[in-house]
């Protein structure tokens, strides 16, 4: 039955208006995020569907229900055998709450004038969907109306007008049998007043429990009172932190590109140098990079440009942040930032000249609010060329008599950046594409520490295990971890790949037993090649065992020298793994953090390391559980899961705002090209002036 026949008149008129507005729009790329018009159509279809009769109905996730991978690859690279270039479906996947249940719907929005619900299911397992922004705002408005809380604030000598609150997921701490049906969160409060850094001034010991479906306080405790830390010295804003400033200010500078930007953005497709890729947006994952392919000049045939596949789809799947204080107000702080809060929901407009340089271009996004209406998010992602002063490659040769040969190529890369401000922490998430064929993934942490109020005023008073560092008077910054897990569906020159561990192995020669040992060399190392057969073989602890090169190879593609083409996985620092007990409840929810590298066969439904329903999840639907199936991964379409991890021991320099700390990984070609691809890249400024502007003097260097 066509949906149009079922729509109430107001929704029908809205859908028709959307259709009229979208009629002249070009057909979207199959991986484009849902547009405002499509989100509006999704809302109309869900609200009109008799499959979800309960009200009120709230939208918790609306994202692209991506087409089948073979069809997308056929669309992007041709080759036949898949859907035609103009016939791929446009569908949305929706998680909505109504009647105390989580409903999953798939909605066809290919025709915005007649959207239709294709399927419906009710989630019966453990866990709940992402918290909406609106319900968090509603929850933090409850404490000032709760008399016991008002009395707690009065006893501490705090003005209620200075109090701000935040919502904290409760985690999961037992009860494997019956999934928890009560959707609750804890609300903790802080004192702002004379500082923007209210996280530095907690009302320690006070906890409220809110039922999010009923939007009512169902629990309250004022367990212990500590002095509220002072506001002095906590504000990070320039007008509050200084002047006076220490030392001279660095000289200002700008990036100048006399011929304009070197990249081109067509909708969501970015083309730069030898790279082409698609930039998407998701309210849970944030930035999504898809169909990254590199142009190989040495592989061109008949004058036709050849694009070679590298990455089908990549995004941050989860950020796990457990704190290390076991007391009542802290033990449950074991955040799953993507699944509980939504990285895209907490990505705010980027600041030109601060977050991104002057030569950046910006991409906007849309997501669904709690009522299903589209919300525009301006300047969510920036794209810019980075001129860092680094060297791509160089050599100076002094071996020729009376001649010095120097050849240098400056390193220029393209960066796609998003910044996620998940409560107190800020995550700067970079995807950096290099002309060498590498992709660097960098996560940089900054923002504000989560601190605990205490009676301690000096380090000499601190007990043996205070669970953190005294960073200011009455202020302990609690120990914690950060685990950023990437979902990277690598397709190295095709979908049939294998995971290889090239293990560095020491060899000690026995001069007496080795007849060929006719040199004084006693030891060396060689490489032992291991091809992972099953998922258990694809799990790697980077801190244990012998060092190894980790490579995704395509066994069906070889160079002219006979080497399998591949891409290496190069750790870029921050390789900590969780040290929590395996049977501890937070660790069971995020068991995948015990290994930094995991490889699984591609599955369209396996996207979120913490499972589809992360809030109050039990760990039964996620990366660690999938890996236990021990499926075959040799010569298959496989996915790399890489966790950037660090143990954060705070120091005073991290307070009141933390200097940026970075980690990540690099996907680096390994026998993918016949030679260094930079040799076929034209040097910057070749045959024309190279301008280096320092603003103040306008000096230039010409070549």
Using an 8 Å Cβ cutoff, are 495 and 555 in contact?
A: no
Phi, psi of 329 (to 5 degrees): -80, -5
**Exposed, middle or buried by CB within 10 Å (0-12, 13-18, 19+), for 636?**
middle
In whole angstroms, give the CA distance from residue 570 to residue 563.
Answer: 19
Q: Could you give the CA distance from residue 378 to residue 418 in angstroms, rounded to a whole number?
A: 12
Phi, psi of 171 (to 5 degrees): 70, -155
The angle formed by the CA atoms of residues 130, 133 and 134, to the nearest 5 degrees, is 115
User: What SS3 state is found at 668?
Assistant: strand
Determine the Cα–Cα distance for residues 233 and 197; give it in Å rounded to an integer. 10
- C-alpha distances (whole Å) from 201 to each of 158, 194, 332, 435, 658 are 11, 11, 20, 47, 16
What is the CA 289 to chain-centroid distance, rounded?
Answer: 11
3-class DSSP state of 545: coil
Answer for the pair 470, 219: CB distance below 8 angstroms, yes or no: no
How many CB atoms within 10 Å of residue 544? 8
Structural contact between residues 416 and 439, judged by C-beta atoms closer than 8 angstroms: no
Please give the distance of CA 528 from its chain centroid, rounded to a whole number.
Answer: 33
Helix (H) or strand (E) holding 136: helix 133-140
Q: Cα separations (Å) of 315 from 216, 419, 642, 675? A: 35, 14, 11, 29
Catalytic residue numbers, as ranges? 337, 425
Helix (H) / strand (E) element for 587: namely helix 585-589
Structure tokens at 164: 């701000």
List own/partner pairs for 97-102 with CB under 8 A and 24 or more apart. Answer: 97/57, 97/58, 97/60, 97/129, 97/213, 98/52, 98/54, 98/55, 98/56, 98/57, 98/58, 99/53, 99/54, 100/181, 100/183, 100/213, 101/54, 102/60, 102/128, 102/129, 102/613
Helix (H) or strand (E) holding 69: helix 69-77
146-171: burial string, b at 16+ Cβ within 10 Å, e else: eeebeebbeebebeeebbebbbbbbb
């Amino acid at each position: 039955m066509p949906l149009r026949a079922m729509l109430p008149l107001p929704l029908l008129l809205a859908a028709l208006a959307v259709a009229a507005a979208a009629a002249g729009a070009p057909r979207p790329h199959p991986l484009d995020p849902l547009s405002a018009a499509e989100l509006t159509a999704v809302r109309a279809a869900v609200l009109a569907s008799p499959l979800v009769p309960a009200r009120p109905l709230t939208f918790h996730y609306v994202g692209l229900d991506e087409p089948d991978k073979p069809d997308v690859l056929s669309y992007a690279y041709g080759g036949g055998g898949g859907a035609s270039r103009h016939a791929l479906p446009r569908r949305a996947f929706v998680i909505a709450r109504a009647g105390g249940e989580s409903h999953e719907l798939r909605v066809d929005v290919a025709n915005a004038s007649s959207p239709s619900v294709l399927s419906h299911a009710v989630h019966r397992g453990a866990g709940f969907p992402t918290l909406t922004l609106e319900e968090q705002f509603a929850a933090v408005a409850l404490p000032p109306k709760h008399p016991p809380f008002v009395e707690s604030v009065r006893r501490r000598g705090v003005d209620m007008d200075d109090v701000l609150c935040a919502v904290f997921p409760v985690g999961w701490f037992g009860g494997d049998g019956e999934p928890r049906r009560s959707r609750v969160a804890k609300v903790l409060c802080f004192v702002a007043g004379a500082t923007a850094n209210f996280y530095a001034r907690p009302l320690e010991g006070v906890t409220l429990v809110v039922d999010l479906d009923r939007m009512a306080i169902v629990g309250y405790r004022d367990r212990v009172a500590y002095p509220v830390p002072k506001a002095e010295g906590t504000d990070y804003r320039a007008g509050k932190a200084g002047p006076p400033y220490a030392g001279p200010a660095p000289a200002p500078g700008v990036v100048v590109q006399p011929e304009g930007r070197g990249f081109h953005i067509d909708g969501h497709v970015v083309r730069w140098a030898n790279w082409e890729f698609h930039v998407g947006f998701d309210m849970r994952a944030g930035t999504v990079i898809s169909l990254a392919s590199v142009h190989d000049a040495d592989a061109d045939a008949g004058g036709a440009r050849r694009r070679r596949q590298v990455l089908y789809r990549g995004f941050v799947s989860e950020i796990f942040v457990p704190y290390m204080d076991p007391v009542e107000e802290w033990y449950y702080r074991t955040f799953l930032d993507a699944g509980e809060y939504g990285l895209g929901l907490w990505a705010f407009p980027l600041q030109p000249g601060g977050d991104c340089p002057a030569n950046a271009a910006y991409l906007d996004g849309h997501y669904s609010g709690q009522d299903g209406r589209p919300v525009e998010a301006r300047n969510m992602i920036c794209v810019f060329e980075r001129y860092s002063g680094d060297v791509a490659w160089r050599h100076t040769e002094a071996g020729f008599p009376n001649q010095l040969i120097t050849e240098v190529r400056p390193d220029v890369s393209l960066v796609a950046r998003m910044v996620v401000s998940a409560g107190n922490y800020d995550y700067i998430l970079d995807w950096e594409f290099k002309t060498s064929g590498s992709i660097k993934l960098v996560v940089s942490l900054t923002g504000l520490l989560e601190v605990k109020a205490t009676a301690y005023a000096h380090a000499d008073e601190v007990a043996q295990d205070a669970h953190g560092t005294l960073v200011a008077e009455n202020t302990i910054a609690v120990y914690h971890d950060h685990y950023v897990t990437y979902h990277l569906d690598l397709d190295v020159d095709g979908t049939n790949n294998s995971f290889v561990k090239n293990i560095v192995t020491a060899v000690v020669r026995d001069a007496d037993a080795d007849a060929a040992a006719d040199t004084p060399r006693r030891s060396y190392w060689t490489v032992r090649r291991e091809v992972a057969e099953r998922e258990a073989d694809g799990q790697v602890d980077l801190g244990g065992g012998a060092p190894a090169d980790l490579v995704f190879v395509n066994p069906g593609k070889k160079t002219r020298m006979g080497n399998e083409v591949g891409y290496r996985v190069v750790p870029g620092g921050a390789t900590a793994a969780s040290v929590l007990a395996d049977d501890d409840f937070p660790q069971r929810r995020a068991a995948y953090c015990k290994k930094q590298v995991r490889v699984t066969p591609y599955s369209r439904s396996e996207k979120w390391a913490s499972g589809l329903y992360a809030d109050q999840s039990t760990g039964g639907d996620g990366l660690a559980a999938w890996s236990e199936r021990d499926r075959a991964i040799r010569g298959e379409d496989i996915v790399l899961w890489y966790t950037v991890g660090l143990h954060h021991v705070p120091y005073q320099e991290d307070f009141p705002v933390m200097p940026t700390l970075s980690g990540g990984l690099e996907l680096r070609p390994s026998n993918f090209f016949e030679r260094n691809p930079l040799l076929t890249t034209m040097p910057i400024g070749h045959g024309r002036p190279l301008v280096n502007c320092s603003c103040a003097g306008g000096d230039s260097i010409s070549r």
